[in-house]
Amino acid sequence: MNVSSTRCLVLKTADHGESDKIVTLFSENLGKVTGIAKGAKRSKKRFVNKLEPFSRILVSYKPSRTSTLLFIAEAELEHAFLSLRQSYQKYAGAMYLCELILRFTKEKDPECGLFSLLTWALHALDEGDRPLKIAALFHIRLLDIAGYRPELECCSQCCKPISPKNTYTMQPGIGALLCNQCRSGNTMLTRQLSVQTLKFLEKAQGVSLGHLSRLQLPDKAARETLYTLHGYSCSLLQQDIHSWKNLMATLK
C-alpha cells in the first residue's frame, strides 16, 4: 500500500501496549484522524520528541484496510511549540483549544479553516499572547466554522440592536442574545455580556486571521466571552469540556 503524507497538529497522545503510541491528529487535508505509531516508545530515530501535544509535524502514513486508523510510518517535526509544554498557563490554554477541536469535529471531515485557526492560536500562545484572549478569540471563530455562529447584533426577542444602556446574556442552547428587559424573571441566565464585549466579538467574527492577534481584547471581555461560550458549547455538545476547569484555574 502506498505511503501518503499530511501536515498535522498533534491533539493528544496515549501509550498503547509496551511500545506503541496512539495519536489523535488534526490534519490539514484529512481533518481529525487517529493514528498508531508502532514501536514509537522504542524508536529513537523515527518518532523521538515528535509525537508530543501541540507539535506541528509532517506525517507519512498508510491507511488501514479494516478501520479508520492510520499507520504512522514516520513523522518529521516542523514546529515543536515547546513553550506550550513549559508554562502551565500556556499549556492550559493550548489544551482547551485542542479539546474544543476534538469535541466539535468528526473523524476524517477535512476543514482547512480550522487547521489554520488552530495553527494561528498555537503560534500566538507560543509567542506570548495572553491565553485568556487567545482562547476567547479561538472559541468564537471555531463556533463560526463549525456552523454555530452566535448572533450578537441584537436581542433575539425584542429585536432591538445592542445598546450600552443594556446588558445581555446568551441563551445556551440557541446562541442568541437576550437583553435584560426580555430576560426579566429568568434566573437561569446569569452570565452577563457587556456591549463592549459584544462589539469586540463582532469584530473578532469579521476580521482575517492575520488581524485577529491585533484585537485588544481586555481580560474582562475575554472572561465574559469564555464563560458565555463555554455554557453555549456545553449545551450544544451535551457534554462537559474537561480542560475548562484547568483554564479557569490559571486565572486565580
Q: Which of 101, 142, 152, 179 binds Zn ion (CB under 5 A)?
A: 179
Closest CB 52 distance from Zn ion, rounded Å: 48
How many residues touch Zn ion under the rule CB under 5 A: the total is: 5
Residue 234, CA distances (Å) to 12, 24, 62, 103, 238 in order: 21, 22, 35, 10, 6
Closest CB 161 distance from Zn ion, rounded Å: 10
Residues 6+ apart with CB under 8 A from 197: 220, 221, 224, 225
Closest CB 181 distance from Zn ion, rounded Å: 5
Cα 225 to Cα 244: distance, rounded to the nearest angstrom = 13
Cα 175 to Cα 231: distance, rounded to the nearest angstrom = 10
Cα 57 to Cα 139: distance, rounded to the nearest angstrom = 23
Closest CB 226 distance from Zn ion, rounded Å: 24
155 binds Zn ion (CB under 5 A): yes
157 binds Zn ion (CB under 5 A): yes
Residue span binding Zn ion (CB under 5 A) among the ranges 56-64, 103-111, 153-161, 200-208: 153-161
180 binds Zn ion (CB under 5 A): no
What the block records as the C-alpha cell of 65 is 484496510
Nearer to Zn ion, 155 or 247 (CB): 155
14 binds Zn ion (CB under 5 A): no
- Residue pair 84/55 in contact (Cβ under 8 Å)? The answer is no
Closest CB 206 distance from Zn ion, rounded Å: 23
What the block records as the C-alpha cell of 73 is 510510518
94 binds Zn ion (CB under 5 A): no
204 binds Zn ion (CB under 5 A): no
Binding track, positions 112-151, relative to Zn ion; x by CB under 5 A: ----------------------------------------
Strand partners, 161: 154
158 binds Zn ion (CB under 5 A): yes
Q: What's the Rg (C-alpha) of the chain?
A: 20
Residues 6+ apart with CB under 8 A from 94: 53, 54, 81, 84, 121, 122, 125
Cα 152 to Cα 225: distance, rounded to the nearest angstrom = 12
Nearer to Zn ion, 45 or 165 (CB): 165
Closest CB 171 distance from Zn ion, rounded Å: 11
Q: Which of 10, 182, 193, 212 binds Zn ion (CB under 5 A)?
A: 182
Closest CB 158 distance from Zn ion, rounded Å: 3
- Give the position of cell 463555554: 230
For binding to Zn ion (CB under 5 A), which residues are involved? Answer: 155, 157-158, 179, 182
